[in-house]
Amino acid sequence: MTDISKITLVELVTKIKSKQISAFEATNAYVERIKKSKKLNAFITETLDEALSSAKQIDKLNTKNGLLSGAPIAVKDLFCTKNVLTTASSKILKNFIPTYESTVTSKLWDEGAILLGKLNCDEFAMGSSNETSAYGNVINPYKSSKDELVPGGSSGGCSAAVAGNLTSATVGTDTGGSIRQPASFTGIVGFKPTYGRCSRWGIVAFASSLDQAGPMTKDVADSALMLDVITGYDEKDSTSANIKKEEFLKSLNKNIKGLKVGIPKEYIVDNMPKAIQSLWEKGVQLMKDSGAIIKNVSLPHTKYALPTYYIVAPAEASSNLARYDGVRYGLRVPGKDLIEMYENTRAQGFGNEVKRRIMIGTYVLSSGYYDAYYLKAQQVRRLIKNDFDSVFNEVDTILTPTAPSSAFKIGAKTEDPISMYLNDVFTVPINLAGLPAISIPGGSDESGLPLGLQLIGKPFDEQTVLNAAYALEEKIEFKSNVNDWWF
Amino acid sequence: MTINKETVKKISKLSRIASNDEFEVSMIKDLNSILKFVEQLNELNIKDIEPLSSVVEQKLFQREDVVNKINEKKDILKNSPEKNENYFVVPKVIE
């Protein structure tokens, strides 16, 4: 018998609709695995009993018209879920039960998906290894000899859950690489849509001009299906794009003959491991074999993207996180007066990385420093976007590696914040420019750990990115070798 | 050193994060290293470049001013650490 947890989302939904598998069987298959996978620490909250009874209900009423009918799905704990604990992996929200549902997750349930639980992530999505979570590290289902590895971040619970077959698919969020880098570290597909494609309403905000929700899935077709569900205009988010909804899965096409693919020379960085360089070269060759036209392009301001990001994102975060004051929800730590209560609450409620970013953000926005840092960063952000605008006059998509390394050991980069930030060197520019980009598994390094390739597209041209990824995926033939060692 | 103990104290006050010696020492180190990193931007000539605060080009819109029964007061108050009847309770603000 096929292992239900290993089939793709598209296949699973087809089988549930045609009654080859019941929603209950599907849900139970995941529930059984989740129960045996505590070691990975991918979940902060499990809603397994509720999931099983929803599945029974779906089978009983035979309501299987949705795009995701009966698909068991866990989501990043950054999405507000009505009546289900939502922590953003922070102690400051350890008891926060939202009274409403985020737009993106409500679209999942409207299409018949079943909530399995809430997935661990870096605190307020600030991190690249899931080590800033107040709920502990997540363990990568991939292991190198005896060492346990990080699953990437910030959507590390998401990447571990998809790679470990603990959810049929998931939604994460990506502010500087938080969907794509963990996808690369765990051999799965992660898609960050164009800024404005998905509503941000009900997502715990980190950096509002950069945050975007997106799917993390077993393959490219699954991402197309998830995008069909979660994208769309929402009047509750003033930056949500008021444009026609597309049918990405239906339009998926692996014919990329004549597609113009840009290779940016600035993405060849110092100390890039050889495996990543050759993976990239292999990707170029495979696209050529599929009939694509390869062009060398230049994005001259690439090296300034990370410094720009580490001004813009903390500035926006310091403003967004001002709401956590111990008054209306979350943790409250008493003080002798109101101000001291705020200060004590925030000192005890936030972890170190979050405090660092609030402090940096407050500094660059403070009187006397605003022009020197924040305004300058916004000007450089314009230059970075201009680079992409001009390259996209010549090409349809850009191919790069997703991350400068494979998954690293837990604790390897926690001492030095900058070394952690460098993980996002290839993903951050895309958020600053607001573009869509996907990470797909491209191969493995010498230790057998997965490495991702990133395809970047023009604004709102997700379809070209998906098609290029679909073609590349077929040629690469990546196979997961996750072997359930933690059982 | 751009950031010294005094600056850290001032920023932590502005950030409403209680500070102590240990916190200040680690922040001086981390913030200086982050600032040094971001100061790479000084290499660029950015004269006359229009700042980019958002990639969204559409104009803000207005929606109909209609009452929706979402986020009811009693539900919202359930999340409050301290409440009294219909109000959030905080330490005394006015003497």
For A114-148, write each residue's pLDDT tens digit. Answer: 999 999 999 999 999 999 999 999 999 999 778 89
- pLDDT tens per residue, range A177-187: 999 999 999 99
- The pLDDT of residue A435: 98
Interface test with B, best of A318, A379, A413 (most B CBs within 10 A): A379
In a domain, B24, yes or no: yes
- pLDDT tens per residue, range B45-57: 999 999 999 898 7
How far lies A469's CA from each of B19, B37, B39, in Å? 48, 34, 36
A347·B18 Cβ contact <8 A: yes
Cβ atoms of A148 and A409 within 8 Å: the answer is: yes
Catalytic-residue membership of A366:
no
- Checking if the pLDDT of B1 tops 60, the result is no
Among A266-275, A347-356, A433-442, name the one with the lowest average pLDDT.
A266-275
The four Cα atoms A436, A300, A368, A343 give a dihedral, to 10 degrees, of 40
Among A28-42, A112-126, A268-282, A292-306, name the one with the lowest average pLDDT.
A268-282
- Checking if the pLDDT of A415 tops 90, the result is no
Cβ atoms of A325 and A345 within 8 Å: the answer is: yes
Domain of residue B35, residue span? 5-43
Between CA A185 and CA A160 the distance in angstroms is: 9
What number is the average pLDDT over the span A57-74?
Answer: 94
Out of A133, A168, A178, A405, the active site residue is A178
- The pLDDT of residue A427: 98
- Checking if the pLDDT of A271 tops 90, the result is no
Q: Which residue has the higher pLDDT, A270 or A332?
A: A332
Structure confidence at residue A315 as a pLDDT band (50, 70, 90): very high
Q: Pull the structure tokens for residue A455.
A: 């395809």
In a domain, B15, yes or no: yes
- The pLDDT of residue A432: 98
ipTM summary value: 0.95
Q: What part of B 42-81 touches A (C-beta under 8 Å)?
A: 44, 46, 49-56, 58, 60-61, 63, 70-72, 75-76, 78-81
In a domain, B21, yes or no: yes
In a domain, B28, yes or no: yes
- The pLDDT of residue B68: 83
- pLDDT tens per residue, range A193-202: 999 999 999 9
What number is the average pLDDT over the span A50-66?
Answer: 94
- The pLDDT of residue A200: 98
B23 interaction partners in chain A (CB closer than 8 Å) = 347, 355
- Checking if the pLDDT of B34 tops 80, the result is yes
Cβ atoms of A440 and A472 within 8 Å: the answer is: yes
Nearest Cβ partner for B44 among A239, A304, A421: A304
Name beta bridge partners: A148.
A143
- The pLDDT of residue B61: 81
Catalytic-residue membership of A480:
no
In a domain, B10, yes or no: yes
Between CA A343 and CA A89 the distance in angstroms is: 20
A307·B40 Cβ contact <8 A: yes
Catalytic-residue membership of A405:
no
Structure confidence at residue A1 as a pLDDT band (50, 70, 90): low
- The pLDDT of residue A272: 87
Q: Pull the structure tokens for residue B95.
A: 């003497």
Between CA A425 and CA A211 the distance in angstroms is: 17
Pairing of strands A397-401, A260-264: parallel
Pairing of strands A437-444, A450-457: antiparallel
- The pLDDT of residue B5: 96
Mean pLDDT of chain A: 96
Q: To the nearest whole angstrom, how far is the Cα of A466 from the nearest Cα of chain B?
A: 22
In a domain, B60, yes or no: no
- The pLDDT of residue B72: 83
- Checking if the pLDDT of A414 tops 80, the result is yes
- pLDDT tens per residue, range A198-221: 999 999 999 999 999 999 999 999
In a domain, B39, yes or no: yes
Q: Which residue has the higher pLDDT, A400 or A423?
A: A400
What number is the average pLDDT over the span A28-36?
Answer: 98
Between CA A88 and CA A118 the distance in angstroms is: 10
Question: A99-124 burial by CB neighbour count: b if 16+ within 10 A, else e?
Answer: bbbbbbbbbbbebbbbbbbbbbbbbb
Number of domains observed in the structure of chain B = 1
- The pLDDT of residue A401: 98
Cβ atoms of A155 and A128 within 8 Å: the answer is: no
**Percent of all residues in chain A with a pLDDT value above 70, rounded to a whole number:** 100
What number is the average pLDDT over the span B31-55?
Answer: 94
In a domain, B33, yes or no: yes
Q: Which residue has the higher pLDDT, A158 or B1?
A: A158
- Measured between CA atoms, the residue of chain B closest to residue A312 is B53
- pLDDT tens per residue, range A83-117: 999 999 999 999 999 999 999 999 999 999 999 99
The four Cα atoms A406, A407, A411, A417 give a dihedral, to 10 degrees, of 60
